[in-house]
Structure 1
Amino acid sequence: MPKRVFVHIGAPKTGSTYVQNVLFGNAERLERAGILIPATFSAHDQAMTDLRQVPWRDPDLYWTWDRLLERFERWPGDVVLTSEGFGAATADQAKRAVESLRPAEVHVVVAARDLWRTLPSMWQQSIRARSTWRFGDFLTAVEEGKFEGFWEHYTANRMFQRWGDLVPPAQRHIVTVPQPGAPHDLLWRRFAGVLGVPDGVCELAAPESNPSLGAPEIEVLRRVNGALGDLYPHRLPYQRVVHQHLLRAVLQQRDNDKRFGVGLDRAEWVAELADQQIKELQDYPCHIVGDLAELRPGRMTESASPDDLDDRQILDAAIQTIVGMITHAESLRQQVPQQPAGMMARVKRGVRRRLVS
Structure 2
Amino acid sequence: MARRAYLHIGAPKAGSTYAQHVLWNNRNALKGAGILLPGDRSAHDQAMTDLREVSWRDPRATWTWDRLAAKSREWHGDVIISNEGLGGATAAQAARAVASLRPAEVHIVVAGRDLWRTLPSVWQQGIRSRNIGRFEDWLRTVERGKFETLWENHTPNRMLRRWGDLVSAEQRHLVTLPPPGAPHDVFWHRFAGVVGIPDGLCDLTAPAANASLGAAEIEVLRRVNQALGDRYPHRTPYQEVVKRHLITAVLQRGGNTVRFGVGLDRADWVAELAEQQIKDLRDYPCHIAGDLDDLRPSGMSSTVAPDDLTDAQVLEVAIETIIGLLGQADRLSRRTDASGLARLRGRATRKIGGALRRITRDR
Q: How does 1:145-164 map to 2 (within 5 A)?
A: 145-164=145-164
* Structure-1 separation of matches of 2:127 and 2:324: 20
* Structure-1 separation of matches of 2:209 and 2:30: 22
Instruction: Describe the SS at the equivalent of 1:258.
Output: coil
Contact kept, 8 Å, 1:57 with 1:234, in 2: the verdict is: no
* Structure-2 separation of matches of 1:21 and 1:329: 27
Contact kept, 8 Å, 2:152 with 2:158, in 1: the verdict is: yes
Amino acid at match of 1:125: Q
Structure 2's unaligned 5+ residue stretches are 345-363
Q: Which residue of 2 aligns with 1:80?
A: 80
> Shift of the alpha carbon at 1:209?
2.3
> Shift of the alpha carbon at 1:18?
0.6
> Shift of the alpha carbon at 1:263?
0.3
Contact kept, 8 Å, 2:2 with 2:72, in 1: the verdict is: yes
> Shift of the alpha carbon at 1:314?
1.2
* Structure-2 separation of matches of 1:244 and 1:33: 34
Contact kept, 8 Å, 2:179 with 2:298, in 1: the verdict is: yes
Q: Which residue of 2 aligns with 1:211?
A: 211
> Shift of the alpha carbon at 1:68?
1.1
Q: How does 1:140-289 map to 2 (within 5 A)?
A: 140-289=140-289
Q: Where in structure 1 do 4 or more consecutive aligned residues deviate above 3 Å? A: none
* Structure-2 separation of matches of 1:128 and 1:220: 11
The answer to whether the aligner puts 1:105 opposite 2:111 as a matched pair is no
Cα distance per residue 1:6-30 (max 9 Å; x no partner): 0000000011011001111111111
Determine what percentage of the aligned residue pairs are the same residue. Answer: 63
Q: How does 1:42-61 map to 2 (within 5 A)?
A: 42-61=42-61
Q: Which residue of 2 aligns with 1:321?
A: 321
Query: Which TM-score applies when normalising by structure 2?
Result: 0.92
> Shift of the alpha carbon at 1:249?
1.4
* Structure-1 separation of matches of 2:24 and 2:318: 36
Cα distance per residue 1:251-297 (max 9 Å; x no partner): 11111000000001110010011100100110000001100001000
Instruction: Describe the SS at the equivalent of 2:281.
Output: helix
Instruction: Describe the SS at the equivalent of 2:199.
Output: coil
> Shift of the alpha carbon at 1:206?
3.6
Over aligned residue pairs, what C-alpha RMSD do you find? 1.3
> Shift of the alpha carbon at 1:336?
2.0
> Shift of the alpha carbon at 1:72?
2.4
Amino acid at match of 1:83: N
Structure 1, 317-326 or 141-150: larger mean CA deviation: 317-326
Instruction: Describe the SS at the equivalent of 1:71.
Output: helix
Instruction: Describe the SS at the equivalent of 2:149.
Output: helix
Structure 1, 31-40 or 111-120: larger mean CA deviation: 31-40
Q: Which residue of 2 aligns with 1:353?
A: none
Instruction: Describe the SS at the equivalent of 1:318.
Output: helix
Amino acid at match of 1:311: D
Q: Which residue of 2 aligns with 1:30?
A: 30
Contact kept, 8 Å, 2:73 with 2:101, in 1: the verdict is: no
Instruction: Describe the SS at the equivalent of 1:170.
Output: helix
* Structure-2 separation of matches of 1:184 and 1:323: 33
Structure 1's unaligned 5+ residue stretches are 344-357
> Shift of the alpha carbon at 1:331?
1.7
* Structure-1 separation of matches of 2:68 and 2:135: 37
Instruction: Describe the SS at the equivalent of 1:72.
Output: helix
Alignment length (residue pairs): 341
* Structure-2 separation of matches of 1:131 and 1:90: 22
Q: How does 1:271-350 map to 2 (within 5 A)?
A: 271-337=271-337
Amino acid at match of 1:235: R
Cα distance per residue 1:86-139 (max 9 Å; x no partner): 001111111111111111110000000000000001111110001000000111
Structure 1, 169-178 or 31-40: larger mean CA deviation: 31-40
